[in-house]
Structure 1
Amino acid sequence: MMETISFSDADSIKQYALSHSDQDLILFGKNQLVAQAIKFMPENVVLCSSESLVTATQVSQTGFSGLTFASQYAQLVPISEPPILSLTRLQQAYHRVETKPNAFLFLLCDGYRAHEEMILTTFYFLNHRFKMIGGSAGDIQQGKTLLSLGTRRLTNLAIFFDLPAEVSLIKENLYLPTGKRMLVTKADPLKRVVYTFNGRPAAEEYASQLGISVAKLADTFIKHPLGKKLDNEIYINSPQKINADHSMSFYAQIIPNTFLEVLAPGNIEQILAHTRQQIDHAQLIFSIHCTLRNQYLLQTQQWPKVLKSLNQSATQQLGFISNGEQFNWQHFNQTMVLLAIKEKRK
C-alpha cells in the first residue's frame, strides 16, 4: 500500500524503480543531489528538494528518503504556471476520488515562487471538507528548489490519493497565543507585505507589543511569530524581514482588516502528547516540518523529543523539512503537518 523508503544514491533509486514498475516513489533530498539524479530517473519517480530529511533517528542531509506506494492508489497531476492552465486535469482527477472517505490531496509546491496561495485558489471546485496536506519544496541552504517527475522538471505537483486504509491529517505547532494581538491596518497580500499594525508602522508596533526595540525585533522572529485564528485553530505566519520603511515582509499572505495573534512557545511536552493522542498509533507517519520550526528545534535542542514522540506514534515514520506548509486549504509556516495511515479497512 504505502511504505517509507530510503536510498543512498541515484543509481539505487533507478534500479529499484525499474524493477518495481507497478509502484510510484516520492523522494526528498538536498538540492544538489536532486539536480544530479533527475537525468537518470524513470517515469515513476518524483524527486523534490529539501533542506533536510527527518528519519526515525535523526535530521539528516544525506541520501534520499520518502514514500513508495502502488501506482493504482494515486493520480499524479503536474500543475502549470499559472496554475489555472491545469484546471481541467485537476478537476478530472478530483472527481475520480471525491466521494472516497480516505481520499486526500498531497501538494508539492515550489517554495521560492511565493505562489502557494494562488495554487490553493485553483482548487476552488473541491469540497471544503476534502482532505489536503502539502509542503513547499526548497533547500534553504542553497536557495534553490527542484521538483521533477521522471526526467521532467516541474514547478508544482498535485497527487490525489485513495488508499485502502484509514487516513488522518494532523497539524501541530509549538506556539500559543500570548493574549496580545494586532489589527492589520494596511497590507499588500500579493507582495506578502504588511505596512501597518494598529495604524503604526508594522515593525514598530510589533516591537512595542513585545516590549523591545525595532533593532532587536528580527532576533525574536523564531520565538514570537504571528498567527491568525480560524475556527479556533492557529495558523502561523512567520516574518521574513523588516523593510527600510519599517513595513514587514512575511512568508505567507496577510489580509488587511484581520487580527493577528502574537505567539510564544508553549509547553512542548504537552503539545507532543496531544499530537500522539490525535494519532492514536499509526502504521505509517509522513511529516512535513517548516524550516523555521527546524531552526527553533535546533536552537532549543528539542529535536530528540520530537523524534521520540513520532516514533512512539507509528511503526514507520519519515518526513522532510519544507519552506512552508499547506493544510485545510491554508498556507502557513513554522508548523508540522503530518499524514497518519492506519491499518487496512476491513
Structure 2
Amino acid sequence: MRTLGGSPTAREAIVPRASIAASDRNAVEALARQLGAGPFSLLMLFVSPQADLERLPEEARRIFGDLPIIGCTTAGEISEAGYGDDTIVALALPAEYFRVDTLTIPDLTRLDPPALASALTRTRMAMAEHYPELAHEFAILLVDGLSQKEDELTSALATGMGATPMLGGSAGDGTRFTRTFVLDGERLSQNAAVLALVRTECPVRVFNFDHLVPTERRMVVTEADPRRRVVRKINAEPAAREYARLVGIDPEQLSTFTFAAHPVAVRMGTRHHVRAIRQVMENGDLVFFSAIDEGVVLTITEPGDMLGQLNRELTRLSLPERPTAILAFDCILRRLEAEEKQSVGRVSELLRRHGVIGFSTYGEQFGPMHVNQTMTGVAIYPPGTLLPEKVP
C-alpha cells in the first residue's frame, strides 16, 4: 500500500466516483481524468461484461501504476445516473482519509479456512498497529458469482474478521450466467475472490435490507445436489412444478421475473434470508444462487413496497448528515423486479438523489453470510460526523 499525501477539500472529493461507456476504447483514461489526480489508497472498478475485458487489467495498471485495484464484472451498474448497463463505474478511496490492504483468494476450490483466518487476523492487527488514529474500519469482499463458493468463503473469513464488518457482492454477467470475473489489479480471474480491508477517519455505517414479506406458504427440499446448488424435488414432487404450483403459475412460464416476484427464504432467528432461485433447467430442476440442502424448509415471500422501503432506508442513512458516498451491492433480482413493475426510472432517481454507487450482483456478502435479493453496502460520512449508536 502506498502512503501518500494530498489535500482534497471539496465534499465530493472525499470519495471520488466516475463512469464511462464500456465501449469507449479509452475508458480507463477517461475514468482517471474524472477521478482526478488523487493520490488514492484503493480504486474499485465495476465493469460491464460488454467491456474489453482482455485489455482492462493492462490498461488499468499502465494508467494507475501500483495503486491497489479491485473490481469485478456486473449484472448491471449503479452510477451517478442511477441504474445503468454497459458502463464501467469507478470509485476511489483517497489516501488522505483511507488506508487499505488487499488479500486475493486465487482458487476457491482449495480454500484453507484456518490459514485464511490466520492471514486475515495478522493483516487486521498490523493495520490497527500502523494506523491507530483511524478509528473506523470495514472490509469489502468481491467474489466470482458463478463459483458457488460464497457461503463457504464468507464463513471462513468471518473467523478472522473479528469485529470488522464485512460486506460485498458476487460478480455478475448480466442475465447470461455464463462467465463472471474478479479483478485483483494484476488480472481478471474466475473462481477467485478479493478482499479489501479499509481503515478510515470517515465514520461509516454498514447496512443490509430487503423489502420482502413472508407468507404462510412453505415447502421442504426433499432432494438436492448441494454442491451444485441444485434442487430436484420439493415436497417429494419435481422442484419446478411444485414451486410453480405454490406460487400459482404455469410451470412453463417460470422465468427470472417469476423468481424475483416470488422469492423463497430460510428463517434464521427472527429474520428470513432469501435463497434466490437463479434458473430452471430443462429437466425441471431449480438452480439456486445460495447454499441449499435437503431438509431445508423454504418460505415463499412476496415483494413489499420496494420504492417506499428504499426511500425510507436511504433517508435513514442520511441522518444526522448526508453521507459523502453510499457504496451498494444490489441483487440482480431487485433490478428485474423494478423492470417488471416499470419502476426502474423511479428507483434510479432515488439512487441518484442519495449518491449511491455500485453494481447489480449475483448475491451479496454481509458478515458471515451470503444472501440474496438485498441491498447491502456501506455509507461513508465526512470526517468528524457524529453518528448515533442507532439509526433513527
- Root-mean-square deviation (CA, aligned residues, Å) is 2.9
CA 16–190 in structure 1, closer or farther in 2 if over 3 Å, else same = same
Map residues 167-246 of structure 1 onto 2, 5 A cutoff: 167-218=204-255, 220-243=258-281, 246=284
Pairing 1:321–2:360 present: yes
Map residues 37-186 of structure 1 onto 2, 5 A cutoff: 37-40=56-59, 41=61, 42-44=65-67, 45-71=69-95, 72-81=98-107, 82-84=110-112, 86-96=116-126, 102-126=136-160, 130-140=164-174, 143-154=178-189, 155-186=192-223
Aligned residues of 2:158 and 2:368 also touching (Cα < 8 A): no
Pairing 1:33–2:52 present: yes
Cα shift at 1:262:
0.4
Aligned residues of 1:4 and 1:317 also touching (Cα < 8 A): no
Instruction: Tell me how far apart the structure 1 counterparts of residues 382 and 38 of structure 2 sit (CA, whole Å).
Output: 23
Secondary structure of the 1:94 match is: helix
CA 76–234 in structure 1, closer or farther in 2 if over 3 Å, else same = same
- 1:51-95 deviation line (CA, Å, top 9, x unaligned): 322123242235432321135521111112123265543232233
Instruction: Tell me how far apart the structure 1 counterparts of residues 308 and 35 of structure 2 sit (CA, whole Å).
Output: 41
Cα shift at 1:96:
3.9
Cα shift at 1:241:
2.9
Secondary structure of the 1:195 match is: strand
Query: Taking every aligned residue pair, what percent have the same amino acid on both sides?
Result: 22
Aligned residues of 1:185 and 1:257 also touching (Cα < 8 A): yes
- 1:161-212 deviation line (CA, Å, top 9, x unaligned): 1221221122232322122112233333222122333333322332222233
Bigger shift: residues 97-106 or 67-76 = 97-106
Secondary structure of the 1:292 match is: helix
TM-score when scaled to structure 1? 0.87
Instruction: Tell me how far apart the structure 1 counterparts of residues 367 and 55 of structure 2 sit (CA, whole Å).
Output: 34
Where does structure 2 lack aligned partners over 5 or more consecutive residues?
Answer: 1-12, 21-26, 386-392
Secondary structure of the 2:195 match is: strand
Secondary structure of the 1:212 match is: coil
Instruction: Tell me how far apart the structure 1 counterparts of residues 221 and 135 of structure 2 sit (CA, whole Å).
Output: 38
Instruction: Tell me how far apart the structure 1 counterparts of residues 248 and 48 of structure 2 sit (CA, whole Å).
Output: 39
Bigger shift: residues 228-237 or 285-294 = 228-237
Aligned residues of 2:364 and 2:370 also touching (Cα < 8 A): yes
Instruction: Tell me how far apart the structure 1 counterparts of residues 173 and 16 of structure 2 sit (CA, whole Å).
Output: 21
TM-score when scaled to structure 2? 0.77
Secondary structure of the 1:183 match is: strand
Aligned residues of 2:79 and 2:356 also touching (Cα < 8 A): yes
Aligned residues of 1:226 and 1:236 also touching (Cα < 8 A): yes
Pairing 1:276–2:295 present: no
Aligned residues of 2:15 and 2:324 also touching (Cα < 8 A): no
Secondary structure of the 1:345 match is: coil
Instruction: Tell me how far apart the structure 2 counterparts of residues 7 and 285 of structure 1 sit (CA, whole Å).
Output: 15
Instruction: Tell me how far apart the structure 1 counterparts of residues 119 and 31 of structure 2 sit (CA, whole Å).
Output: 28
Bigger shift: residues 253-262 or 126-135 = 126-135
**What is the aligned residue count?**
344
Instruction: Tell me how far apart the structure 2 counterparts of residues 183 and 288 of structure 1 sit (CA, whole Å).
Output: 29
- 1:215-251 deviation line (CA, Å, top 9, x unaligned): 3344622211211222323322221233455432211
Structure-1 residue corresponding to 2:328: 287
CA 236–307 in structure 1, closer or farther in 2 if over 3 Å, else same = same
Secondary structure of the 1:282 match is: coil
CA 282–15 in structure 1, closer or farther in 2 if over 3 Å, else same = closer
Secondary structure of the 1:169 match is: strand
Q: 1:237 is aligned with what amino acid?
A: R
Bigger shift: residues 48-57 or 120-129 = 120-129
CA 164–18 in structure 1, closer or farther in 2 if over 3 Å, else same = closer
Secondary structure of the 1:344 match is: coil
Instruction: Tell me how far apart the structure 1 counterparts of residues 307 and 32 of structure 2 sit (CA, whole Å).
Output: 41
Instruction: Tell me how far apart the structure 2 counterparts of residues 199 and 145 of structure 1 sit (CA, whole Å).
Output: 33
Cα shift at 1:128:
6.8
CA 237–128 in structure 1, closer or farther in 2 if over 3 Å, else same = farther
Instruction: Tell me how far apart the structure 2 counterparts of residues 174 and 227 of structure 1 sit (CA, whole Å).
Output: 12
Pairing 1:344–2:363 present: no
Q: 1:148 is aligned with what amino acid?
A: L
Pairing 1:4–2:30 present: no
Pairing 1:261–2:261 present: no
The structure carrying a bigger strand percent of its residues is 1
Where does structure 1 lack aligned partners over 5 or more consecutive residues?
Answer: none
